[in-house]
Structure 1
């Protein structure tokens, strides 16, 4: 997960990767502070865990979009050839339901990413 903090000197967003899913897990494994260097002003900052936040992943959005925009035409191409051969109403309904698969995958990926971000951002440490 990509976490962010704002540099107090230049207000630039500093990012880093973390494997921790919550602030509590982060504090237990890495301590209650994180030291980061700003790439713009090169100021060394120490942030409390409650000052860190997560954002939705652009990579997850890109992957979900690719699945949706590549999967839909792919299914349309094969559905057209099957419909031409078979041509029944039942088959049309079955193929129509298969057309929902890329949309469901797209929605699921984005929803899980949103849940991951909200889980990290919602939890706070009490002693900070």
Structure 2
């Protein structure tokens, strides 16, 4: 996870990578204050754990979009193939319901990302 703190001198965002999912885990791993270097003004400083925030990552959104697009196209192809060749209504309904799977995968990935960001950004420490 990438967390962000603000530089005390130039107010620029300072990114820090960590494996911690919450502020408590971050404090246990790295201590109450984390020393980091500003990429803009090169000032070394220590930032308190409560001053860090996290943002939504683009990676789960990209993965979810790829799953959604390929799953939807595959579901449409399979649905049309089944509808052309098989005359059983229940099987046709089942094939069309496969279009729900990519939407569910996208929803689950998006919800997990939102839960992760909200869990870190809450003030626990």
Shorter-chain TM-score tier: over 0.9
1:15 corresponds to 2:11: no
Q: CA deviation at 1:124?
A: 2.5
Please show how residues 1-128 of structure 1 align to structure 2 within 5 Å: 1-125=1-125
- Paired with 1:118 and 1:84, the residues of 2 have a C-alpha distance of 47
Give the unaligned 5+ runs of structure 2: none
Given that 2:71 and 2:102 are in contact with CA atoms closer than 8 Å, whether structure 1 keeps it comes out as yes
State the TM-score, normalized to the length of structure 2: 0.93
Number of residue equivalences:
125
Given that 1:22 and 1:123 are in contact with CA atoms closer than 8 Å, whether structure 2 keeps it comes out as no
Q: Alignment RMSD, CA only?
A: 1.2
Given that 1:24 and 1:123 are in contact with CA atoms closer than 8 Å, whether structure 2 keeps it comes out as no
Q: CA deviation at 1:29?
A: 1.8
- Paired with 2:116 and 2:2, the residues of 1 have a C-alpha distance of 11
Q: Which 4+ stretches in 1 moved above 4 angstroms? A: none
